[in-house]
Amino acid sequence: MTAKPRLTPAPPPGELIDSPRFPVAARRELGNTAQRRNLRLATHTIRDKRANAVGEMENWEQLREAGGAIKNRVLRHLPEYLEQLEESLTRNGATVHWARDAAEANRIVIALVQETGSQEVVKVKSMATQEIDLNEALEESGIAAWETDLAELIVQLGHDRPSHILVPAIHRNRSEVREIFLEEMGRYGTPAPPGLDDNPTNLANAARGHLREKFLRAKVAISGANFAVADTGSLVVVESEGNGRMCLTLPETLISVVGIEKVLPSFDDLEVFMQLLPRSSTAERMNPYTSVWSGASEGDGPQNVHVVLVDNGRTNALADPHGRQALRCIRCSACMNICPVFEKVGGHAYGSVYPGPIGAILNPQIRGTDSAVDRSLPFASSLCGACTEVCPVQIPIAELLVHMRGKVVDAKKAESKGVHMPHAEPAMMKAGGWVMGDHRRLEAAQLAAKAGGGVLGRFTDHIGPLPWPLSKWTNTRDVPNPPTKTFRDWWNVNRADQVEK
């Protein structure tokens, strides 16, 4: 059996949902020294830039507060805003489609492209279309999808997967990009200029040359949207390179795939989000280009305009009154850029198009907790809380990580259905509770620990690796020796006389 020849570069084999548990994937990624160096450089650069961009704004906290509140209002009253959005878009000449899940969204898009007779589409960078794996669905239907964002192009030509929602090729350095361009561009269109070096300006120019012919001939474009405005029936795309404008302007047909949580009540609300988003994501006062369009505009741009509103698990997240806060996310990537875990392991370890802290709470909510990777994600954090502080819409990410850990434990318990499956942490907590519940038991335990500490202290200042099952804790952490004196002993010697009788 011979495989059908591919139209576009093949991504790595396998489905993201079948990714290994986070600790296993993290160990694999940590072995990639070049990637670790690239990530460290990139995340530290953007962190500092973001701090400056945000530091300029005296009313940043009020903006975050307002952004969070607007999104809460939308989520809690989603039916009325979605109805209004559909009505306004339709009035503006767009056709609105609804998709329960990824498969349905893909079927809708494929049928719309087939109606045009076109066998290729140009794509604006979009998380929603990555989430539903649209490119591969199009490929299977004989339609070539060309990514046009520079980083997405690097990922696509590199037979790779994105590792970051804003800078999908953040794990690649300039010399790797050069090699990919020289090797692959010619197979799918205009080749890279011979003698291309690894200067980022020249690499960007090679992308300009490669994509221009695709932009000029494209009949169909596919985009996502950063915001969908209910009262005016407008979609908004925030970008930097102008590839978005090319796709949104030149083709005859435009299909936008938009998650149902992207609605904003009013055009006026853009004043809040257009201040929050650019400074949080690319750390600029404003991104180079933002496009706003309201259906079809006579004599200007695509006249065949479609919007596909996608659920694909979002209503699962919405059903959890606490967890639904994660749906406020505007995909800025500030949480992954600040995250000490993401910085080391990169985005591929998270087994989803949404990596980092937001992915760790969003994926198990929208995909559920059935897969090994989704069960492991809420634990992919040290709970340091840096993500919560930078989130422009005040998602309490650290708190939701703990919340989702609870849900994973509950799901496992429900599965074991009465069969007693002890888990180390709850068992230890239970034992601790028993000891601390009675002062005599506590004193006895302290006496034992004191004796142990006295002995150990002669050899070492900490406890290293212990045998199983304690190894699960000590393999990644040192434990200090038990003190040779309890707090009660210390109190009796130093402060007993101060106690008012």
- What residues from 140 to 179 belong to the interface with another protein (CB under 8 A)? 148-151, 154, 167, 169-170, 172-174, 177
Question: Does residue 271 touch another protein according to CB under 8 A?
Answer: yes
Question: Does residue 245 touch another protein according to CB under 8 A?
Answer: yes
* Pairwise CA distance, residues 320 & 318, whole Å: 5
* Pairwise CA distance, residues 435 & 366, whole Å: 40
| Burial (CB count within 10 angstroms: exposed 0-12, middle 13-18, buried 19+), residue 199 | exposed
Question: Are 221 and 121 a contacting pair, CB within 8 Å?
Answer: yes
Question: Does residue 353 touch another protein according to CB under 8 A?
Answer: no
Least CB distance from residue 140 to another protein, whole Å?
22
Least CB distance from residue 183 to another protein, whole Å?
16
List the one residue from 7, 182, 292, 372 that touches another protein (CB under 8 A).
Answer: 292
List the one residue from 80, 183, 425, 478 that touches another protein (CB under 8 A).
Answer: 80
Q: Residue 220 in 3-state DSSP?
A: strand
Residues 443-472 that bind another protein (CB under 8 A): none
Q: Residue 463 in 3-state DSSP?
A: strand
Q: Residue 68 in 3-state DSSP?
A: helix
Least CB distance from residue 195 to another protein, whole Å?
18
Nearer to another protein, 247 or 373 (CB): 247
Residues paired with residue 221 on neighbouring β-strands, in sequence order: 122, 254
Cα angle 378, 384, 385; round to 5:
85
List the one residue from 26, 66, 127, 387 that touches another protein (CB under 8 A).
Answer: 66
Least CB distance from residue 471 to another protein, whole Å?
39
List the one residue from 27, 28, 40, 77 that touches another protein (CB under 8 A).
Answer: 77
Residue 348 DSSP label: G
* Pairwise CA distance, residues 324 & 150, whole Å: 32
List the one residue from 254, 309, 353, 390 that touches another protein (CB under 8 A).
Answer: 309
List the one residue from 5, 13, 31, 79 that touches another protein (CB under 8 A).
Answer: 79
* Pairwise CA distance, residues 157 & 147, whole Å: 9
Residues 20-59 that bind another protein (CB under 8 A): 38, 41-42, 45-46, 56, 58
Q: Select the span of 11-19, 261-269, 399-407, 486-494 touching another protein (CB under 8 A).
A: 261-269
Residues 95-124 that bind another protein (CB under 8 A): 97-100, 104
What sections of 339-421 are H helices per DSSP?
340-345, 356-366, 372-376, 386-390, 397-416
Residues 204-243 that bind another protein (CB under 8 A): 204-205, 207-208, 211-212, 215-216, 232, 234, 240-243
Least CB distance from residue 427 to another protein, whole Å?
34
Question: Does residue 289 touch another protein according to CB under 8 A?
Answer: yes
Least CB distance from residue 390 to another protein, whole Å?
17
Least CB distance from residue 400 to another protein, whole Å?
17
List the one residue from 319, 421, 444, 455 that touches another protein (CB under 8 A).
Answer: 319
| Burial (CB count within 10 angstroms: exposed 0-12, middle 13-18, buried 19+), residue 32 | middle
What sections of 236-371 are H helices per DSSP?
243-249, 270-281, 314-318, 334-338, 340-345, 356-366
Query: Which contiguous run of DSSP H or E holds residue 305?
Result: strand 304-310
Nearer to another protein, 79 or 437 (CB): 79
Question: Does residue 65 touch another protein according to CB under 8 A?
Answer: yes
Question: Does residue 295 touch another protein according to CB under 8 A?
Answer: yes
Of 295, 282, 326, 331, which is closest to residue 131 (Cα–Cα)? 331
* Pairwise CA distance, residues 357 & 325, whole Å: 14
Total site size for another protein, rule CB under 8 A: 97
Question: Going by C-beta distance under 8 Å and a sequence separation of 6 or more, which residues neighbour residue 131?
Answer: 102, 312, 353, 354
Question: Does residue 437 touch another protein according to CB under 8 A?
Answer: no
Of 246, 253, 230, which is closest to residue 305 (Cα–Cα)? 253
List the one residue from 19, 130, 163, 275 that touches another protein (CB under 8 A).
Answer: 275
Question: Does residue 318 touch another protein according to CB under 8 A?
Answer: yes
* Pairwise CA distance, residues 123 & 251, whole Å: 11
Q: Residue 81 in 3-state DSSP?
A: helix
Least CB distance from residue 215 to another protein, whole Å?
7
Residues paired with residue 353 on neighbouring β-strands, in sequence order: none
Nearer to another protein, 139 or 184 (CB): 184
Residues 184-203 that bind another protein (CB under 8 A): 200-201, 203
